[in-house]
Amino acid sequence: MSGAVAAVDLGATSGRVMLGWADRDGVRLRHVARFANDPVTVPEGGSRGGAGRVGLHWDVLGLWRSVTAGLAAAVRDEPDLVSIGVDSWAVDYALLRDGRLLGTPYHYRDERTAEGVAAVHAAVSPQELFTRAGLQHLPFNTVFQLAADRASGVLDLADRALLVPDLFSWWLTGVAATESTNASTTGLLSPVDRAWDVDLLDRVGLPGGLFASLVEPGTRLGPLLPSVASIIGAGPALGVTAVGSHDTASAVVAVPLAGDDAAYVSSGTWSLVGLELPSPLLTEEARAAGFTNEGGVDGRTRFLKNVSGLWLLSESMRSWDGSGASAAERSSDLAALLAEAAEVTRPVSVFDATDERFSPPGDMPARIEAWCVEHDVEPPRGRAEVVRSILESLAAAYATTLRDAERLSGRTIRTVHVVGGGSQNALLCQLTADRTGCTVLAGPVEATAIGNVLVQARAAGLVDPSSSLEALRALVSASSAPVTYRPRSVASRAAARAS
């Protein structure tokens, strides 16, 4: 069988529509559309919210317009399109009633969740939550957001919650389903049998039927709705296939892991640092070290930790640029700053990149300075030092996380794959090699879209439908060569492993 598939990949700062081709020789992508994903702040004062409250939301309607325009371009470029798959960031959701959107979905960086965390923890302890759902405690996990919506009364109006990629698939097909890798980030799914934890839903006061039934990646959801097919100019056969709709799940499909000694960093707005395991690790040690057990494609477990990411850099660039420069101007400024940061010779302080104070939008350089002052270490001076300090701090967090992953899993890590946008940041990759003492293999940069394409291609029979994940990863290796970074000295390797 021949044909192409379209990957819709929505990231926290930008989205894209890509065409993808896969066959027994490899996998290939072509960009069709790229568009900004700019969150929107809106005043939300009122009888319950308090006059000063400001909500942070995703502009899902703007994204829908860009996605349909991108798909129309994909159909024009490649009339032989057999399937569409949608992935995005995790945890966030839309509330609907009778199929209609109830308000605009919140951004996970919105600060309304504190009340939700308190309410959930009053019903179920953090320890029990971990043994049941296997997740790292992040205040924005879906369960906490839903508890906040319950407290505000909004949840009472809804008869359905759809995670963001599921919302787009619903709009495309009229089929409501919950894809399982993304469902695993809700905090409401058992990672052992991958089913909703009905007892947990009940105990935290959430309605059992709120989410649509679960589907595994590779499930054909259905053809496009006629109204949508006509907007994008598609024929009646074009439909949507569930992929690993959590972007990190799709990215891990495309990490060319060669064995048990290989780890990954999926590096973008966030850095997801960890291992692929055959089954979840739900020990108290894993919880205390802040690890998560997210669901992978083909039943694998993504045993990883969310340790912040290039958000620290992009948000710093935003606060330095008072003038509202375009993304292109900012990226040429970034290239220049990274070059300067690579030349910094004075040792810069390392801060805790996972500190929650760095999560909401705001002035990151000022927050880094405050962190350093509080911890009695010298704050970085000037922009190049701030950038260097951010990258050193991320690399240090990767190294600590990977050492914890080794200890918890009993594995020895020798190779670290860096995929996603951060794989193009040579300084970050080199510092990661230096601080972990491991060889870093960087790329592919578009891992998420490649994983999305491969799962669709396998489901559509463009590649052998019985291909294992390892066979799919061999197609990635055959198609793109990684850039290798080695620890800069034997001494640094020894020091990294001893510290």
Q: Footprint of ligand LFR on residues 358-387 (CB under 6 A)? A: none
Name the DSSP letter for residue 211: B
Which of 92, 110, 166, 247 is catalytic? The answer is 247
In 387-438, the DSSP E strands lie at 415-419
- In this structure, what are the phi and psi dihedrals at residue 442, rounded to the nearest 5 degrees? -100, 130
Question: How many C-beta neighbours within 10 Å does residue 287 have?
Answer: 21
Query: Binding pattern to ligand LFR, positions 297-326, x when CB under 6 A?
Result: ---------x--------------------
Q: Cα dihedral sign for 396, 402, 404, 407?
A: negative
Task: Count Cβ atoms below 10 Å from residue 226 Cβ, excluding itself.
Answer: 10
- For residues 175 and 429, what is the distance between their CA atoms, to the nearest angstrom? 41
- Contacting range for ligand LFR; rule: CB under 6 A; set: 199-207, 263-271, 321-329, 469-477: 263-271
How many residues touch ligand LFR (CB under 6 A)?
A: 13
419: contact with ligand LFR by CB under 6 A: no
Q: Is 269 in the site for ligand LFR (CB under 6 A)?
A: yes
Q: How far apart are CA 164 and CA 145, in angstroms?
A: 14
Q: Please pick, from the candidates 149, 179, 247, 446, the single residue that binds ligand LFR as defined by CB under 6 A.
A: 247
Token pair recorded at residue 210 = 């709120």
d(CA 244, CA 336): 36
Identify which of 460, 20, 452, 6 has the alpha carbon closest to the alpha carbon of residue 244: 452
Angle at 58 (CA atoms; ends 53, 63), nearest 5 degrees: 155
Select from 90, 146, 167, 475 the one that contacts ligand LFR (CB under 6 A): 90
DSSP letter string over 153-184?
Answer: TGGGG-SEEEEHHHHHHHHHHS---EEHHHHT
Distance in Å, CB of 437 to ligand LFR, minimum: 26
248, 349, 354, 430: residue in contact with ligand LFR (rule CB under 6 A): 248
**Piece of 88-96, 155-163, 198-206, 410-418 that binds ligand LFR (CB under 6 A):** 88-96
For β-strands 262-267 and 292-295, DSSP reports them as unpaired
Give 49's DSSP letter.
T
Q: How far is the CB of 91 from ligand LFR (least distance, A)?
A: 4
Stretch that binds ligand LFR, among 83-91, 252-260, 341-349, 375-383 (CB under 6 A): 83-91
* 58 part of the interface to ligand LFR, by CB under 6 A: no
Q: Whole-angstrom Cα distance, residue 38 to residue 200?
A: 34
* Residues 358/309, Cβ–Cβ less than 8 Å: no
Closer by beta carbon to ligand LFR, 10 or else 475: 10
Closest approach of ligand LFR to the CB of residue 419, in Å: 12
Distances (CA, A) of 64 to 23, 99, 276, 407: 30, 16, 32, 44
Provide the minimum distance between the beta carbon of 15 and ligand LFR in the complex, in angstroms, as a whole number: 12
Q: With CB under 6 A as the contact rule, which of the stretches 125-133, 269-277, 317-325, 485-493 interacts with ligand LFR?
A: 269-277
User: 């923890």: which residue's tokens?
Assistant: 121
Residue (306 or 436) nearer to ligand LFR, CB:
306
Answer whether 14's CB lies under 8 Å from 24's CB. Answer: no
**How many whole angstroms separate alpha carbon 67 and alpha carbon 461?**
25
| 272 in contact with ligand LFR (CB under 6 A) | yes
> Is 293 a residue that touches ligand LFR (CB under 6 A)?
no
Q: Rank residues 21 and 144 by Cβ distance to ligand LFR and give the closer one.
A: 144
Give whichever of 86 and 238 is closer to ligand LFR, judged by the CB atom. 86
Tokens for 127?
């320890």
Q: What is the phi/psi pair of residue 304, to 5°?
A: -150, 175
Residue whose CB is less far from ligand LFR, 281 or 419: 419
Please state the closest distance from residue 19 (CB atom) to ligand LFR, in A.
Answer: 22
- Site membership for ligand LFR, residue 245 (CB under 6 A): no
Cis status of the peptide bond prior to 444, with omega within 30 of 0: yes
Please indicate whether residue 247 is annotated as part of the active site.
yes
Cβ proximity to ligand LFR: between 14 and 319 the closer is: 14
Distance in Å, CB of 11 to ligand LFR, minimum: 6
By annotation, the residues acting in catalysis are 247
Q: Which chain residues interact with ligand LFR by CB under 6 A?
A: 12, 89-91, 108, 246-248, 268-270, 272, 306
